[in-house]
Amino acid sequence: MNAPDADRFPECPTSWYLYCRSRDLGRRPLSRNLLGRRLVAFRTASGKIAIIDGRCAHLGADLGAGCVHGEAIQCAFHHWEYGTDGRCVLVPAKPQAAARFQLSAYPVVERHGFVFVFNGPEALFPLPFFPDADPGEFIASEPFDEVLLCPWWMVGANVFDVQHFRAAHDRKLIDTPAVDCPSPYARRITANFTVLGDTLRDRLVRRFAGERVRMTFTDWCGNIIFATPTFRRTASYGMLITEPLGPNRVHVHGIVFVPRSRSRMGQTLFDPMHAKVRRYFIKAFLHSDARLGTKGLTYNPAGLFDCDGELIRYFDWLASLPSAACGVTPRKKACGLVDTNLLYPQSS
Ligand code: FES
Ligand SMILES: [Fe+2]
């Protein structure tokens, strides 16, 4: 049983990415680098959000320096305008020339106060959520983030690395994990664990949630992971969404969800506090992974053998995904991934 060589993985998965928070997108456009491209997001007068290539087709000005004009974005340099589909709709100096120019437009979803973008002309699958859960019945916590020094595919692999739960998380595996693929783009692992550990956090977990936990992780394309640890008395919902920054750097965003209360009072008083508590526990659980990841991890297929079987099968599955299907992030083509500013520099 051999794990695939590193060159079998694309530079970035064809998938959904976190572009910004909704509140970051006010009346002004917002441009940023994502996967080596300059993109710009804007909200039109009617409220629609669009994300298109961020460089003007005229002289390459950054459209993020422009402004929204009705249902279009206007470049600040010579006032060319582009619609939400990326088509140029106005060239003031020569109106009949507008039809000759078009920028790429990308699928966008706004959900839970975040703006997500798909890195292809058409989404290969809808923006996923927790299995069998309705996004409208959940609220999101404040996100947290970290930049890890490893290839992007090492992040999703973490949950298929069955051995590390005992060593890094004080969770003892008590049965054989079940693995399936609920979608051609998703791989899921479910396993039961006993909560070990003497930290205050683990003692609180055993006392208030229970000492057995059923963990389900659903991985979409290697860059979106939904974790649902289910205890006898409660369940948590954590999402990681990653963005490759280069061959050995990956930006990981974490968002924790809690079910929305039915009453208005519950939504106002209880839900935000509930989300903070869950966020604390999930972030603390991930601390050992983050601590190792920030100091650097390498992908070494020669170091994997039989006892890493689930991990090897995950890498095989991931390397076989049709990542180049949309033609935007071709395998092994240097797409010049560019570093971005941290979205949440204030988070600890
Ligand atoms: S560079 Fe954008 S209109 Fe000229
Ligand atoms: Fe882990």
**CA distances (Å), 79 to each of 31, 53, 74, in order?**
17, 16, 5
Residue 127 lies in a domain: no
Q: Do residues 110 and 199 share a domain?
A: no
Residue 270 lies in a domain: yes
Least confident range from 126-130, 208-212, 218-222, 237-241: namely: 208-212
**162 vs 175: CA distance, rounded Å:** 11
Statement: residue 342 has pLDDT above 60:
no
Q: Do residues 186 and 315 share a domain?
A: yes
Domain boundary among 56, 87, 118: 118
Q: Do residues 191 and 286 share a domain?
A: yes
Protein residue whose Cα sits closest to atom 1 of ligand 1: 59
Residue 219 lies in a domain: yes
User: Which range of residues forms the domain containing residue 92?
Assistant: 15-118
Residue 206 lies in a domain: yes
Q: What is the pLDDT of residues 262-308, one digit of tens each?
A: 999 999 999 999 999 999 999 988 998 999 999 999 999 999 988 89
Does the CB atom of residue 77 touch ligand 1 within 6 A?
yes
Q: Are 129 and 186 in contact (CB under 8 A)?
A: no
Residues 6+ apart with CB under 8 A from 80: 56, 57, 58, 74, 88, 90, 91, 92, 98, 101
Residue 123 lies in a domain: no
**What is the reported pLDDT for 323?**
67
Tell me how far the alpha carbon of residue 27 lies from the centroid of ligand 2, in angstroms: 40
Q: Do residues 176 and 262 share a domain?
A: yes
Q: Do residues 72 and 151 share a domain?
A: no
pTM of the full structure: 0.91
Amino acid at 41: A
**294 vs 306: CA distance, rounded Å:** 27
CATH code where residue 178 lies: 3.90.380.10
Q: Do residues 109 and 202 share a domain?
A: no
Least confident range from 17-21, 72-76, 268-272: namely: 268-272
Q: Do residues 196 and 66 share a domain?
A: no
Q: Do residues 109 and 175 share a domain?
A: no
Domain boundary among 118, 147, 174: 118
Statement: residue 22 has pLDDT above 80:
yes
Looking at the 3D structure of the chain, how many domains does it have?
2
Residue 153 lies in a domain: yes
**134 vs 296: CA distance, rounded Å:** 36
Counting atoms of ligand 1 from 1, which one is nearest the CA of 60?
1
CA nearest neighbour of 337 among 241, 244, 222, 248: 244
Q: Are 133 and 235 in contact (CB under 8 A)?
A: no
Label residue 10 by pLDDT band (50, 70, 90).
very high
Does the CB atom of residue 59 touch ligand 1 within 6 A?
yes
Q: Do residues 113 and 163 share a domain?
A: no
Does the CB atom of residue 75 touch ligand 1 within 6 A?
yes
Residue 342 lies in a domain: no
Q: Do residues 141 and 110 share a domain?
A: no
Q: Do residues 280 and 149 share a domain?
A: yes
**What is the reported pLDDT for 233?**
82
CATH code where residue 91 lies: 2.102.10.10
Q: Do residues 157 and 293 share a domain?
A: yes
The better pLDDT of the pair 285, 334 is held by: 285
**What is the reported pLDDT for 330?**
36
Statement: residue 219 has pLDDT above 90:
yes
Domain boundary among 88, 118, 148: 118
**What is the reported pLDDT for 343?**
38
∠ CA 292-298-304, nearest 5°, is 105
Length of the chain, in residues: 348
Counting atoms of ligand 1 from 1, which one is nearest the CA of 59?
1
Does the CB atom of residue 231 touch ligand 1 within 6 A?
no
Q: Are 279 and 141 in contact (CB under 8 A)?
A: yes
Residue 189 lies in a domain: yes
